[in-house]
Every structure is written in structure tokens, then in C-alpha cells.
Amino acid sequence: MDLFVLLGPTAPAAAAALSALLGWHRISALGTASAAAAIGVSGVVLAARSGADPTYALGGLLRADSLSAIMLIVIGAVGTLASVAGITYLDGEIATGHISPQRGRLYATLVPAFLAAMALAVLAANIGIMWAAIEATTVITAFLVGHRGHRLALEAAWKYVVICSVGIAIALLGTVLLYFAAEHAGASPGQALNLDTLLAYAAKLDPSVTRLAAGLLLIGYGAKAGLVPFHTWLADAHSQAPAPVSALMSGVLLAVGFSALLRLAPVLEPAAGAGYLRTGLLVVGMLTVAVAALLLTVQTDFKRMLAYSSMENMGLIAIAAAVGTRLAIAALLLHVLAHGLGKSVLFLAAGTLQESHHSTSISAVRAVLARSRLVATSFAVGVAVVVALPPFAMFASEITIARSLADARLGWVLAVVGVFVVIAFAAIVQRTIGMLLGAPDADAPAIAVPRPVGIALIAGVTACLLLGITAGPLAGFINQAATLVGGA
């Protein structure tokens, strides 16, 4: 029994219960922020002391290894930024009567429930429970995406639930097939979905059934990670959700969806053949980067631009996973963390722009720097992070992914992906410069930054800079986690 393992899902669950009791209230919002911080702390503690063996809790239902610890750190970091920024988020709308207290209560309850589901997803020892937790994130966030209740929000929520539920249902079928293969290989029925059992039987699984399962799991969890072909919900949902929820969805939910594939890769590869899953990841990843880059070039909406940038980065993550060496996986994990921080800062800054301009159109926003130095600086830093400019950490992670591609004799992939990354870079930077610089019009609205959002922005920018300058002890944690997936 380990309290730090237990803390991940229970702290936010307690915060959700508190919010359900109190409704939208300063105390419940602070509870959510502390629960998010607690997830981060549990991640750091688990990473610091996890050796080769995983730690268990709740009679073996929860299982923490260094990969779970890194994911908990990402959930905690992004969750803390988003929930601190969200402390006063609904105050205005509730005061003016735009939102009923019941909706406020629902919002306050669902945000920590969302954190709890993500923590459970990365800690589940049973891949069936992992599946259920990831599906639960869809159901929980559906209300948050549709929170505003107007046409666009409803459209986004509907498409989100339908596409993600179908995608994730396909992953359930893959899970069932894996169970079938494990049972047939001799695993006892009660244990055949446990990660440790599956890892032990990985070499004995039937190759063709495992391949079928791997394909279904890739498509299914890929949908949740925003990978082609089920990527169409991503920009809609991420652009319609309230800013703190967008930060969580783009910054960490996509990565949690992808972490399911990282978990399953060592189970699938011995039987399906190392090349099988990796080819799938490579194809899907390259297509994702290409589609995202091309859609970025025609973007007129800044929240959708940020969403497609997330999609581009998930594509890069899939490519890194396809290479699959320890170096590539370490770069992948650093990429996930850096992208989570950068994208949260961006979505929170974008939220203040949306509030003040009542629009998310790129052409509606001009000369932000002249009106709010904080928002402009944060937005610029966030963009610098997600387009991988030095000194930020994604520069290091992308260079490392490139190097590992070259090492794996996948130079042609590097060349193709490089072109699309440059296209995406140009599209994002050009639009950002247009938004931030210039002289403001006389009738341009003032950009109000509520104090909690300001604090979150400053903290986020500081974290991005720190992570860029030195990964500190994180480097060791990341290397340890990378060994789990990529081998020594």
C-alpha cells in the first residue's frame, strides 16, 4: 500500500466531492488547484524513488512505475496552471447571470473529476480499467466543451463525444482481443488484463491476433490522442472549450491518450513483431504532422491554430514512439512535458484575448503587445515553446527526435517531416507576429487579466524557461521512464 500512488486519483476525487457540495466557490476552486498540485507532488516523489519495480496500491489495482510518475508530473503541472487560472474563471459569468449556479457547480465538479480520471488512466494496473478511465475523460469533458451551450459549443461537443467514443470503443475491442490472446497463451482469466501478466506473457501471444489487436488499439487510442484518421474532433473541441479546459485537453489529455499506446507497446511488440506497430505509428504520425501543418496554413482562428499545433506535436510524438529507442522515448517524454507547459500558457493567454475581444478570429486581434505586456509576452513565449525555438525544451526534444530518426536510418522520414514542421512554424509565427505587434486601433478593447490568470501565466512562463535551461532531476526521471518502453 502506497499513499503517494493513492494520492493521484483520490486527491482530485476529493476535490470533486468538495465542489459538488459547495458549488462554484473560492474554496472549491482552491481545492481543485491543491489537488492538481498534489498529483504533481506524488509524481515527483514516485519518480524520485521508483526503482526498477513498480509500486502498487489498492490491492494491486493501481500500479506506478516511472512512466506513470512522469505522466503524473505532466498532469500535475498543467493541472495546477489551469486550475489556478480557473479560480475566478466563472465569477463574472455567474455574477451577470449568464450561467446558472447549477452550471457553475457542474463545472467546478467536472474539472477535478477530469484530473482524477487522467490520474487513474496513467496509474491503472489493469488495461481494461485504463480504458474505462480514458473513456471517462471523454464523458466528463463533453460537458465542459459544451459548457457555453451555444450552437458552436454544442456542435463541437457532439462531434467530440461521437468520434472519441467510437474511437475508444475500437480500442476496447483491441483490449478484448489482447485478453483473448493472453488467455489462450495460458494467463489465468482473472489476471489476463493486468499489465504485469501481459508483459510476462508478451512473447507467447498469438502473432496474428496480436497484430489485429495492435491495429485496433492504435486506431482507438490514436483517436483520443488526436492522430489521423480520427483527428477531426480535436480543433472543434479544443477551440470551443473554456480556456482552462482547453489548456488541460491540449496540454495533457492528448498525451494521456497516447501514453496508453506507450504502455501497450512492450506488450504488443514481442508477438506482433517490432516493425508492425512502429510502421503503423510512423505512417499515422507523418500523416498527422502533414494534415496539421496544411490546416495551420489556412487558419483564421487563433484557438484552432493552437489546437492544430497540438495535433502537429502529437504527430511528432507518434514518430518518436515509432523510432522507439530509449533516446527517442526520452525525447518524447520531454516533448510531452514541454508542450504541456507551453500549450497551457498559450491557451490561458488566448483565453484573455477571447474574453476581451469577444472573438477568436486572428484578424480581430492586433497589437496585443501595446495593450498588455504580460499577455503578449506569455503568448510569444508559448509560441516559441511550441514551435521549438531555443532555449526552450522542445528545441532539445525535437533535435533529439531528429537525431534518433537519423540513427534509425529513417532519414527520409526526417526530410519529409522537416518540411511540414517548417510549414507549421512559418504559419504559426506569421500569425502570431500579426496578432502581437503593431499600433493599436483607437477602439481596440483593453485586455483585462484577472489576477489568478496573471499568476498562472507568470508561473507557466517561468516553468517553460526553467525546463528549457535545465531539466534538472527530471532528466534522470525521464531516462528511467524511457528505459521501460525503449529498453536499455
Q: Which is nearer to other proteins, 2 or 155 (CB)?
A: 155
Instruction: Tell me if 220 contacts other proteins by CB under 8 A.
Output: no
Instruction: Tell me if 107 contacts other proteins by CB under 8 A.
Output: no
301 in helix, strand or coil? strand
Of residues 223 through 262, those in contact with other proteins by CB under 8 A are 235-236, 239-240
C-alpha dihedral sign at 95, 97, 103, 107: negative
* Count of C-beta atoms within a 10 Å radius of residue 211: 19
Give the x/- contact pattern for other proteins in 114-133, rule: CB under 8 A. Answer: ------------x-xx-xxx
Instruction: Tell me if 152 contacts other proteins by CB under 8 A.
Output: yes
Residues in the chain: 488
Instruction: Please state whether beta strands 62-64 and 55-57 pair in parallel, antiparallel, or not at all (unpaired).
Output: antiparallel
Q: Which is nearer to other proteins, 85 or 133 (CB)?
A: 133
231 in helix, strand or coil? coil
Look at residues 187, 464, 222 and name the one whose alpha carbon lies nearest to residue 344: 464
Which class for 3: exposed (0-12), middle (13-18), buried (19 or more C-beta within 10 A)?
exposed
- Residue 149 CB, shortest distance to other proteins, in Å, is 6
| Interaxial angle between packed helices 127-145 and 101-123, expressed in degrees from 0 to 180 and rounded to the nearest 10 | 160
Instruction: Tell me if 209 contacts other proteins by CB under 8 A.
Output: yes
Instruction: Tell me if 91 contacts other proteins by CB under 8 A.
Output: no
Q: Which is nearer to other proteins, 184 or 326 (CB)?
A: 184
Q: DSSP character for 99? A: S
- Residue 147 CB, shortest distance to other proteins, in Å, is 11
Of residues 434 through 453, those in contact with other proteins by CB under 8 A are none
Q: What amino acid occupies position 281?
A: L
Give the x/- contact pattern for other proteins in 171-190, rule: CB under 8 A. Answer: -xx-xxx-xxx-xx----xx
Q: Which is nearer to other proteins, 119 or 181 (CB)?
A: 181
Among 162, 399, 419, 475, interactor with other proteins by CB under 8 A = 162
Instruction: Tell me if 151 contacts other proteins by CB under 8 A.
Output: yes
Q: DSSP character for 388? A: T
Q: What dihedral do alpha carbons 162, 240, 227, 464 form, nearest 10°?
A: -150
Instruction: Tell me if 397 contacts other proteins by CB under 8 A.
Output: no
Identify whether the C-beta of residue 177 lies closer than 8 Å to the C-beta of residue 220.
no
C-alpha to C-alpha distance for 276 and 435, rounded to whole angstroms: 44
Binding residues for other proteins (CB under 8 A): 126, 128-129, 131-133, 135-136, 138-139, 142-143, 146, 149-152, 154-159, 161-162, 165-166, 169, 172-173, 175-177, 179-181, 183-184, 189-190, 193, 206, 208-209, 211-212, 235-236, 239-240, 295, 298-299, 304
